[in-house]
Structure 1
Amino acid sequence: MTAPTAGGPFVGLRQQLTAAAAAFADSPDTLAGILAGMVDDVDRALAVPLEIFPVCHHSPASALAMVRRLREKQPRVIYLELCEDLQPLLGELGNCRLPVAVQAFASELDGHPSEWGPLSVVAPITEASAEYQAIVYALETPGVELVLVDRSTDHVFQWLPRAPEAQPEGALQMGVEGGRPGDDAALHGDAVGVEIGDLRPGFAELEAYLLHHGKVRHWSEWWDQYVEQPLAEADHDTYRQVMVLIGSLFRRLRPTRPERLDRDEDRERYMWTRMREHLAASGVDPGHCLYVCGAFHAASQVEQFGLASDAPAYEISPRTGTRWRYGLIPSSHSAIETQFGLAPGSVSIAAATWTKALKRSGLVPFRLDGQRGARARARGRGGRGAAAPATGLTDRLSGFLAAPPELTGLDEAELRGWCVDIVRLARRNGYLASTADAIAVYESSILLAGLRNRTRPTPYDFADAAVTCIEKDVVPGRRDVRRLCEILLGGDRVGQVGYEALPPLARDVLERLRPLGLDLEKRTVQRALLDLHADSRLAPCSDLLWILRYLLPHDAIRPIMGERRLGHRSIQESWDVALGRHQRALIELGYEGVTVEQVLEQRLRRAVRGPQATAAGALAAIEDAIRLLDSPRLVDELGARAVELLAAERTVDDAPNVLRRIRRLLAHYRATATALPAWYEAFVAAGYTHYCTLLPSAFVDEQAGVRQVGAMLGFLFSMENLALSLGCDRTQLELAVAQAHPEAPAKVALHWTARHQLGLLPLAELRARCAELLANPLVVPIFPQYLSGFVQALDPVPGLASFVVELMSTAFAQLPDPILLPWLPTLITTLREHGSELVPLLIREAARTFPGALPALDTWVPPWATTTPAPAPPVVSAGPVVGLLTDHPESVDAIATLLGCANPWRRHDQLGRTEVAALLTQHPDTAVAVADLLPAGSRTSRQG
């Protein structure tokens, strides 16, 4: 590290600061050390042969100083503090409209904690920034080399702590401070922000002190008032010395956090190592180079600082196996403000300040020729001349710090224009503003500037005055006056990535949607009408829109008319398309694959292979694959995984979702296919065995709800025929029900319905048990819980709908009001939340049971009140039927063959009696029923 000289141009300033510390500080040695160290940092940074150009992020003063220095020095090599692996993207800036952000994205992590994924790093770029001017100069000037020297995006996450609770920086910062709600403020998502020159006090107390004595509300306003404005017209030496001094101040006055300090110093070691390597490899003269970095890093204390240091090179660790993808995404002023904690509107004000300073100074900034909206090619660029001659280092700090603020007069025309425009804009947004308000804003702006010791009103003073004079007490529209001031002073400018800079997937999407006839690059919402019956060319567009609806945010592609479900496709569709507004999301899809179909397949596979995957989620992925992708191979793969997930589950929380989706898939396959796929049969067989195994414990487990147990029974009973045909044993279900001994009233009701469905509990006995419950005074208070169980039982046993209606009617008639009335709201909310599909069944059954007219209700008698025991069947001779079956045994032979019976018609007497005849004689009910179906002549002719 280069040591400061004992003499030098800053001797006088160092003595003045030391004397001031001794005169005013309680501990002069500490303060004198800090002040003298700051001067030493300036002396050391400016003495390096490789010119260090300190900047601040999105600072018009830094951009203006950069333009002046580039035209004067015309360097051959520019070293820029930016992630080195982002360099190939900078050439695509000419196809974009600023602001945009350079992005590195990784979804498949190798070497980083999986819970951090996906990883994203963005570096926003605006025209009013020094780094953009340096980039454009290097790209547009022949023979100039641009070298990015900061750590790679992979190292950004390598250097983060690996504690379980640690999260990538930027993801937690996003949206916490500053910014406005809305899409534009979230254009960067939860990406980690990379910026050049993050100049802000590290101590909260220092920042609060500066804001209080500066009479400002936010750090951005303080910086604009006390740094931006004084340095806008400063010469190069003054600018460099002041910026290094500020960087040294904030560097020395910051919290002692070792991990952050080590990370900042490692970045500086990294950058100086890269610059030394490039200088050694290229042999370029350091005097022809320019090192653009944040003012914080210009005052570095690391041993590798400078070119004369003998410290060994910093050992750079290799990158991990994570595969990074790179691209450009749209950015906006509000997104930059939100991510980096700037005051709302500060970047827009900086852009307006930049434009005004260019007009006032006559400077021609550097702009890319192919950039949309760019002006003519910068004049005076010419060829590169020799490096500016080195001049002796002089003390400009003393004069700058001692000089009084420049007494710039009031720009009456500018302030008057602001006041007139804000009143006009406020009236358009519903405010009752008038000319008197414009006058009040004008005078209040001047008054506020005077109270804050300013020679002229700043945009922040004008905004405060406008809020005070116009907003009053209510906001009539969705924009308040402060937001209107931001729009007036520059607006939330939103960038756009050009077609040529888009990834292949995004370009493919735009090409495939071209038949819609829409300008998809616009940020407005556009309506697309698709008549698929009249124009078959629109069918691929419809398929693509449904896939984008699944992959993109819901407000990017929104269907107005039409739907896509299993087995159904609309012939007419209407869509609201806003791809231009969600360009970032479309671009990030391009990092995952070449086509949207490939991305969809990958996401569906990840959904069923992840650690949180469930059988219900796998069935949902299968539905999406059938709806959106005509790929039986993928469906079979997802189905096999669904079988594995179901067999591995140990809880029944997702049983309702599994039942609903498996029924929907069964209806789809029965309507569209000749046979069920193999994975579906395997799922039903595995599910039958799985739920039979878990059924006894679910009946007694307090964590398993009534709806979950009812869904299990619904799966077992509704899929029973298919499961038995696949080789499952019904005895397993009977044993599971027999082993269940529930105690909760609702589950007891479910258990009774399961036994009834299995034929183990007749309806008469079930009705008798419920009557006993109503007759028991100790059970009456909890009878509504039994009733809730019977309602949930309608899913597995829909045939009990009439009995449930009967039971509910009896309960409403017999339960006392203190019990019934508090329970009714619970019943309604339970049906709405857990049994909405059961309500129509109950309503239809009640409509069949109760009278349709109100007058008939007085004389109506419930059908269950008149129910009498069924009479015993008469004992009749089964001879005619037996004779008929004996004389024509072909039908019985066919049935016997299917049942596996061999030679059932063995005769034993002359009358033709058989074993079947004896069986029919002992059990005549079936024979009587068949005899009633036969004509009378047939019965009499067969007698004997």
Structure 2
Amino acid sequence: MTADRFAGLRQQLDDAAANFAGSHQALADVLTGMVDDVERAMREPLEVFPVCHHSPASAVAMARRLRQKAPRVIYLELCEDLRPLLKELRNCQLPVALQAFAGSPKGFGEGTGPMSVVAPLTEASAEYQAIVYALDNPDVELVFVDRSTDHVFQWGSREEPKPEPEPETTETAPDSEEAALHGDSVGVEIGDMRPRFAELEEFLLHHGKVRHWSEFWDQFVEQPLVGADYDTYRQVMTLIGSLFRRLTPPDSRSLVVDEDRERYMWTRIREHLASSGADPATCMYVCGAFHASSRVDEFGLDAPETDFVISDRSETVWQYGLIPSSHSSIEAQFGLAPGSVSIAAETWSKALKRNRVKPFTLGAKSSVVSAPRLDAEAEADDQLSAFLSAPSEATGLDEDELLRWCVDIVRLARKNGYLASTADAIAVFETSILLAGMRNRSRPTPYDFADAAVTCIEKESVPGRRDVRRLCEILLGGDRIGKVGYDSLPPLAQDVFDRLKPLGIEASKRNTQRILIDLTTEPHLRSASRLLWILRGLLGSVVQPITGVCTLEEQSTQESWDVSLGRYQRGLIELGYQGVTVEQVLEQRLRRKVRTDDATAARALQAVEDAIVYLESPQLVTDLGDRAVELLAAERNVDDAPEVLRRVRRLLSYYRTRGTDLPQWLESFVRVGYAHYCTLLPSAFTAEDVGIRQVGAMVGFLVSMEGLAVSLGCDRTQLELAVKQSHPEIPGKVALRWAVQYQLGALSLAELRKRCADLLDNPLAVGSFPQYLSGFVQTLDSIPRLTSFVVELLSTAFGRLPDSVLVPWLPNLITTLKKQAPDMVPLLVREAGRTFPAGLDAIDTWTPPWLAAPAPAVMSGVEGVAGGVVAELLDEHRTAVDAHAALIGATGDWAVLARPPAGAAEVAGLLADHDAAAHAHAALVV
């Protein structure tokens, strides 16, 4: 094509710039430069095919051109390392997405999470038509020439963030689950045809009388071009790409990345032509219209050599596969208006019928082109002038189509709870025509129809889950969801479906399946049940238990599940990139979980539990347990002490109920934990940033694990010294220290009662009494004999405090217990139920146990601390002593026991000589 062919158009644009601009040179340079870009692309020996992503006009032009030209080589703007995936498309149902996934990236900085790149494909896209043509013609070579997925992230740091998707008028978005099929993957698209100059987009939307860019593109580009001849389509698309490119800010970082991509693609094209010896006349280069108007030095086969060098890939190992996609996920990822991809699919179907175009379909005999045309083609004339000056085609109103839409939307609305009627259908019909007229359109578009339906049907409220605009999207094509066939799934996914087949779960089933399992009558299903529990932990709500439990303490015999693996395949497919079986993936995750920089002992214990419950690997449990010991010894804070206590108790109970010896790592954990918490206890008591729950958990660990720790070689004196060195000032921590002293025998119950009574009598301390009470409550699970004392303490406070003190004090008490000791309150309630009378009749004659006449101390003649401890123990448990005496046939009165029995002096001397042994024995039996 010579420059003279566009001379007339240049002159027209230059005159227009002079008429409409005060200083016309800048505008003239832009307008005539656009023509230069078109001329340059048309003159290129390698045919450049400009496209827009998911554009029916591009797809129709591609189908026509492939049958006319029958190229031998197609260069396609897609990541070059995605090319091997195409053979798997035969087992899939569109839309699907080509995906590259890296679970452990290398060379992208520390803390970089999993990376994922997706390239979605729909039938109404030019790239898919080219792919099918190449796959069904063995002698055709398809070459992906865009940067690799590794380079996408290497160059991503140079690209400025994409603008937010355009504002929509829809009040509710499409179903979020379908819209999130791509997750947080980076999307790769061919032909991002959207202005990068915000003022230009705003201007076009305003004067086009449309609400968003998708509607503008469909109205003013797709519809006029979908039936145009090939030369017109090619020149117009290149012109639009040039317009957007020339109006992109020159300092834009995204423009730098785009130019690097263009250099990359032309470098790959020249390398392939040189190595294959292909004739450029039999080749085609498919790229976005933005890149077709490229002005980089590397553009074209005749470009001079430059110093552009493609950088090496990183050491990241990439996994590749296909994942299901959907119309709504494509719209959400690329900032398109909801429903636009469905409308494009409808436009594609209509264009095929109207223009009598036969699309390329995988496996169809019509896809094969037997004799490619190799003769030179004539240069195309200037088609831009006629297209730009021609008035819009007056297609007229298609009443049958509009009537069908109106009737169907009313029927669909009634199914979704709207009180719609025939009158609403008539109103939608007339309003659609009215809106089209107001917007200078010859016929209502799907967007006009949707606006009219919202106005006439939705009115004020949405009775169901879907609003009217969403119903219009469903009516006009629906949110089609793709599916990856069984044969194209990774080995892990195939293994999952094979193992779940006894439950009736198959990859071909798209619906959510309710699965019932009775392990009592069908014990052979236990392995399938365990697999579901593993998938539940790895995939979340895709596998949802309705009833049933699987923990260290309990494993149910009957289970009910909702399984949606066939509907949401993405998560399962990505697991297949990480291992061969789900057990292998789970083991890898557990090992990584305890080796991260933020790993804690509590997290390691959780990993141990998961390994015991889901994996039959004693070595893995040992490795994770040893790591938990290391993490506990290295921790310098006690933030996770409550969780550590809860999990270590559960593990101890698990091994003891099984009747086996404790594993070595668990013994080491108890021994290290005892010494560790003894060391940190004094500072935790005084530190302001350590909460009472954390200190209570430390105390609980030390007290409840004391017997086991001492048997493993720990020294009880270490705890006694830690308590003596602790000097808390916060009321709750003070009460915790008193409780530990009482447990160690350093504080008697009588002394504890006196200290608490002094608090109630002190007007300055009574306001903080709930904090003291919370401290006592924290120790109830490890010092259960304090439960009755706390009930006594509460009852005493309620009985002694006046209303003026008690009423303001109660809210503080309730909130404190709820915040600091919610798990222990039920224990208090049960103890209170045992202490207080069951009926109202007994209240008048009931005397609280702590107010009953105190009995003389048993063994009153016995001197020494041990005698006092034993006497105190018997006095606290009179009912038990009486019952035991009745069983052995002993009779007597408590008063009689006040007399020193024979030999009391000898017993007292013996206890005095062995005071330490008496203390140790008292601690064990109390």
TM-score calculated relative to the size of structure 2: 0.91
Aligned to 2:377: 390
Aligned residue number for residue 106 of structure 2 = 110
2:597 aligned partner: 611
Structure 1 residue 69 corresponds to structure 2 residue 65: yes
Determine whether 1:820 maps to 2:810: no
Aligned to 1:476: 463
Distance (Å, rounded) in 2 between the aligned partners of 1:390 and 1:817: 102
Which residue is 2:274 aligned to?
280
Q: Which amino acid in 2 is paired with 1:468?
A: T
C-alpha deviation, 1:819, in angstroms: 4.1
Q: Which residue in 1 is equivalent to 2:898?
A: none
**Higher mean displacement: 724-733 or 711-720:** 724-733
Displacement after TM superposition at 1:834 (Å)? 4.0
Contact 1:174–1:190 (CA<8 Å) still a contact in 2?
no
Secondary structure at the counterpart of residue 569 of structure 1: coil
Are 1:707 and 2:693 matched, yes or no? yes
Task: Indicate how the Cα distance of structure 1 residues 70 and 875 shifts in structure 2: closer, same or farther if over 3 A, else same.
Answer: closer
Match of 1:362 among 356, 361, 364: 356
Cα 1:874–1:215 shift into 2, 3 Å: closer
Amino acid at match of 1:133: Q
For the structure 1 residues 526 and 825, does the alpha-carbon distance in structure 2 shift closer, same or farther, using more than 3 Å as the test?
A: farther
1:532 aligns with 2:526: no
RMSD: 2.2
CA positional deviation for 1:62:
0.3
The answer for the alignment partner of 1:498 in structure 2 is: 485
Q: 1:833 and 1:564, CA in 2 relative to 1: closer, same or farther beyond 3 A?
A: farther
Structure 1, residues 374-412: CA drift from partner, whole Å, max 9, x if none?
xx5426x44132235321231110110000000111111
Paired with 1:87 and 1:867, the residues of 2 have a C-alpha distance of: 91
User: Once the two structures are superposed, what CA deviation does each residue of 1:154-188 show, in whole Å capped at 9, x if it has no partner?
Assistant: 000111228xxx9x968x97999885242100000
Q: 1:758 to 1:378 in 2, by over 3 A?
A: same
* Aligned residue among 860, 871, 896 for 2:846: 860
- Amino acid of the structure 2 residue aligned with 1:308: D
Aligned to 2:249: 255
Partner of 1:651: 637
> How many residue pairs get matched?
872
Equivalent of residue 629 in structure 1, options 615, 618, 622: 615
**C-alpha spacing 1:130/1:819, structure 2 compared with 1 (3 Å):** farther
Whole-angstrom CA distance in 1 between matches of 2:755 and 2:198:
73
Q: 2:598, 2:197 → 1: CA distance? A: 42
Cα deviation per residue 1:39-87 (whole Å; 9 max; x = unaligned)? 1110111110000000000000000000010000000000000000000
Equivalent of 1:214, from 192, 208, 215?
Answer: 208
- In 2, distance between residues paired with 1:876 and 1:68? 110
Q: Is the 8 A contact 1:780 1:815 kept in 2?
A: no
Indicate how the Cα distance of structure 1 residues 832 and 256 shifts in structure 2: closer, same or farther if over 3 A, else same.
farther
When residues 876 and 291 of structure 1 are mapped into structure 2, their CA distance, relative to the original with a 3 A threshold, is closer
User: CA, structure 1 residues 81+776, in 2 after alignment: closer, same or farther (shift >3 Å)?
Assistant: same
User: Corresponding residue for 1:523?
Assistant: 510
Residue type at the aligned position of 1:334: S
What secondary structure does 1:665 align onto? helix
The 1:855–1:8 alpha-carbon spacing in structure 2 relative to 1, beyond 3 Å, is: same
| Distance in 2 (alpha carbons) for counterparts of 1:176 and 1:677 | 60
Whichever residue aligns with residue 68 of structure 2, its letter is E
The question of whether the paired residues in 2 share the 8 Å contact of 1:53 and 1:291 is answered with yes
- The aligned residue for residue 934 of structure 1 is none
Shift of 1:814: 2.5
What one-letter code is carried by the residue in structure 2 that aligns with 1:299? S
**249 and 818 in structure 1: CA distance in 2 versus 1, 3 angstrom threshold:** farther
The SS at the match of 1:301 is: coil
Q: Is the 8 A contact 1:304 1:313 kept in 2?
A: no
1:774 maps to amino acid: L
Question: What letter corresponds to residue 482 of structure 1 in structure 2?
Answer: R
Task: Say yes or no: does 1:378 pair with 2:378.
Answer: no
Distance 1:253 1:820 in 2: 74
C-alpha contact 1:242 1:397 (8 A) present in aligned 2: yes
| CA–CA separation in structure 2 for the residues paired with 1:135 and 1:708 | 62
Aligned with 1:653: secondary structure?
Answer: coil
**CA offsets, 1:113-134, max 9 Å, x none?**
2433100000000000000000
Q: Which residue of 2 aligns with 1:721?
A: 707
> Post-superposition shift, 1:841?
1.7
What letter is aligned with 1:267?
A: R
Aligned partner of 2:440 among 442, 453, 465: 453
Report what 1:745 is aligned to.
731
Give the Cα–Cα distance (whole angstroms) in 2 for the partners of residues 242 and 924 of structure 1: 107
Q: CA separation in 1, counterparts of 2:349 and 2:813?
A: 67
Offset of residue 794 of structure 1: 1.6
Distance 2:164 2:671 in 1: 50
User: Which residue in 2 is equivalent to 1:906?
Assistant: none
- For 1:478 and 1:457, locate their aligned partners in 2 and report how far apart those are by CA, in whole Å: 27
Give 1:736's match in structure 2, choosing from 722, 740, 743: 722
AA paired with 2:285?
Answer: Y
Q: Does 1:185 align with 2:179?
A: yes
Q: Distance in 2 between matches of 1:801 and 1:867?
A: 21
Using the TM superposition, give the Cα deviation of residue 612 of structure 1 relative to its aligned residue in structure 2, in angstroms: 1.7
Deviation digits for residues 773-821 of structure 1, max 9, x if unmatched? 1111221222222122222232332210111111111112223445433
CA distance in 1, matches of 2:763, 2:749: 23
Question: Structure 1 174/844 Cα, relative in aligned 2: closer, same or farther at 3 Å?
Answer: farther
The answer for the alignment partner of 2:827 in structure 1 is 841
CA distance in structure 1 between the aligned counterparts of 2:443 and 2:857, rounded to whole angstroms? 106
Is 2:661 the partner of 1:675? Answer: yes
Note the C-alpha offset of 1:921: 6.5
Candidates 169, 188, 203, aligned match of 1:194: 188
Cα distance change of structure 1 residues 806 and 387 upon mapping to structure 2, 3 Å threshold: same
Instruction: List alignment gaps of at least 5 residues for structure 1.
Output: 370-375, 878-915, 928-944
Q: 2:90 aligns with which of 84, 89, 94?
A: 94
- Check whether the contact 1:707–1:792 (CA below 8 A) recurs between aligned residues: yes
1:1-80 matched pairs, under 5 angstroms: 7-80=3-76
The yes-or-no answer on 1:543 pairing with 2:530 is: yes
Q: CA deviation at 1:925?
A: 10
SS in 2 for 1:386: coil
What SS is found at the alignment partner of 1:378?
A: helix
The residue that corresponds to 2:230 in the other structure is: 236
Native 8 Å contact 1:920 1:926 kept in 2: no
Q: Is the 8 A contact 1:75 1:289 kept in 2?
A: yes
Rounded Cα–Cα distance in structure 1 between residues aligned with 2:425 and 2:256: 53
**Kept after mapping to 1: 8 A contact 2:166/2:336:** no
Structure 1 residues 174-224: Cα deviation after superposition (integer angstroms, max 9, x where no partner): 999885242100000000000000010001111111101000001000000
Distance 1:724 1:920 in 2: 28
CA distance in 2 between counterparts of 1:638 and 1:845 reads: 39
Amino acid paired to 2:40: R
Give unmatched runs, 5+ long, in structure 2. 864-902, 915-926
Matched, 1:871 2:857: yes
Task: Quote the offset at 1:867 in angstroms.
Answer: 4.7
Residue 412 of structure 2: which of 425, 441, 444 is its match?
425
- In the TM superposition, 1:852-931 aligns within 5 A as 852-868=838-854, 870-871=856-857, 873=859, 920=907, 922-923=909-910
Aligned to 1:438: 425
Between 811-820 and 481-490, report the one with greater CA deviation.
Answer: 811-820
Q: Report if aligned partners of 2:497, 2:506 keep a CA contact under 8 Å in 1.
A: no
- CA–CA distance in structure 2, aligned partners of residues 116 and 515 of structure 1: 40
Q: How far did residue 876 of structure 1 move? A: 9.9
Could you tell me which of 281, 284, 297 is aligned with 1:303?
A: 297
Q: CA deviation at 1:571?
A: 2.3
Kindly provide the CA deviation profile for residues 425-467 of structure 1, in whole angstroms up to 9, marking residues without a partner as x: 1111111111111111111111100100001100000000111
Other structure's SS at 1:600 match: helix
Does the 8 A contact of 2:862 with 2:904 survive in 1?
Answer: no
Give the fraction of aligned pairs with identical amino acids, expressed as a percent.
67
